[in-house]
Structure 1
Amino acid sequence: MKNFGFRQLPTWWVRDETALKRFKGGRWSGGSIAALKNLLAINSLCEMSGYSARVSYQGLMTITGLSRPMIARGVKALEANGLISVNRGGYINDYSLTGSATDPGWAKVPCLKVQECLSGLPNRGEATLAALKIYVYLLSIRPNNEKEVSVSYSKIRTNTGISQKWVRPGLDLLFSNRLIHVRRVEGFTPDELDVTGLYYFNQYTITGDLRLSKWA
């Protein structure tokens, strides 16, 4: 049984300027990738109007492409950062995403698209970590009535902690795994200067079903 439509991802923590920067690269990149993959996978399995999901390690392994030890490592990292709580019940665990009473905002996450495409992202490397951080950031700032997000490279770097050289590779991974589409738009705020001397910025489209749908 698959989930269709979108699920609600609490975004209070993304608005903390240090939040996505906690998921570090370098020798920590594997654990950071595992944490963000687990977060998206658990969210994609949540109830339609809630933050709870019941799933086995095998279910998370199927969606994320991670090994069992990396599932465990990623879940522990999410717990340590206060993003989830876990009621361990043996073969199947109950996961709850942490909300905020003072900042109840949430992002729409296309659950079926995440379930289909997340395992295609490699489980190691700075480009994958950049891709996951960018994806969560784009989801968190997308207006609810639109699929498109317009944001500069500099804002992506500022809010995710990604170095400049990894922004483009991260976006390329999201595009090649069909999680976003990218369109270049001319604008008045300089982001990058092309060979014609015109300023432009990228407009990102979140792919997948963002409508309110029933379980199927």
Structure 2
Amino acid sequence: MSGRKFGRLPNWWARSSWLVNNVRSNEIGGGIASMKCLLALSVLIDFHSRTASVSFTGMERLTGLSRPMIVKGVAKLEKDGLIKIDREMFVNSYELTVQPNDDRWAKVPVDTIRKKLNTISNRGMAPFVALKLYLTIISLRYQSNNTVKVTHETLRSYTGVQPNQIRFGLDVLYCSRLIHLQPKEDRESNIYEIIGL
């Protein structure tokens, strides 16, 4: 078990349409790799400095990705401005970036991600959609709540995912025990519990 209950993931990118414009379905493998690497770094970083030094072997264990896909994933995150990489040392150091006008962040459940991230497949549309939805759900969580009440339409607007794909992505998250669907209060919104927070 980790000493921390949650990691700190700056999430300005959720409000700048990164998941819609830069993580596209015509590059599913690279998209899965970049999202898995982002989640992995969020549970490894120092809470205050937003930096972590981690080997490729450590990233492979945590994400279930191959080394070439980790290279591809972190390269995309760096190109899109979500991370900075210091390659001066034997092991790379990664820093999650923030924006001057947006320093908000998402809580990421450390032990849950450490145990479950590598169980999500690295191929296919359903895992791709699942990771987009998970990043959105943790970004929409408010203050000390471990639940998020949200409509499919809101999830679609943050992710660019087609309506008929949302259910398949959610099924991956349920099976991986990353989120739990709570009973509905109304006909429009679902309540998702983020497991581990």
> Which of 165-174 and 81-90 deviates more?
81-90
**Who is 2:190 aligned against?**
202
Give the TM-score of the pair, scaled to structure 2. 0.95
Aligned to 1:24: 24
Q: For residues 153-211 of structure 1, what are the alpha-carbon distances to aligned partners after superposition, in whole Å with 9 as ceiling and x for unaligned? A: 11111110001121011111111111111023132xxxxxxxxxxx2531000011x3x
Which protein has the larger Cα radius of gyration, Structure 1 or Structure 2? 1
Measure how far apart 1:91 and its partner are: 4.4
TM-superposition CA deviations, 1:71-126 (whole Å, max 9, x none): 00001000110000111146411000011121111111111211110000000111
Higher helix share: 2
Look up the equivalent residue of 1:155 and give its one-letter code: T
- Return 5+ residue gaps in structure 1 as ranges: 188-198, 211-216
Using the alignment, how far apart are the partners of 2:49 and 2:193 within structure 1? 25
Equivalent position of 1:8 in the other structure: 8
Query: Is the 2:151–2:188 Cα contact (8 Å) retained in structure 1?
Result: no
Find the residue that maps to 1:100 and give its secondary structure. Answer: coil
Q: Secondary structure at the match of 1:14?
A: helix
Deviation (angstroms), 1:2 = 3.5
Q: Compared with structure 1, are the counterparts of its residues 131 and 29 closer, same or farther at alpha carbon in structure 2 (3 Å cutoff)? A: same
SS for the counterpart of 2:4 is: coil
AA aligned to 1:128 is P
- Number of the residue aligned with 1:163: 162
Q: How many Å separate the matches in 2 of 1:109 and 1:3?
A: 14
Count of aligned residue pairs for this structure pair = 196
Match runs of 1:16-165 below 5 Å = 16=16, 18-21=17-20, 22-26=22-26, 28-89=27-88, 91-165=90-164
What's the CA shift for 1:149?
0.3
Write the distance in 2 (CA, Å) between the matches of 1:185 and 1:145: 20
Structure 2 unpaired stretches of 5+: none
TM-score for both structures, normalised by structure 1: 0.87
- CA-atom RMSD, angstroms? 1.4
What SS class does the counterpart of residue 157 from structure 1 fall into? helix
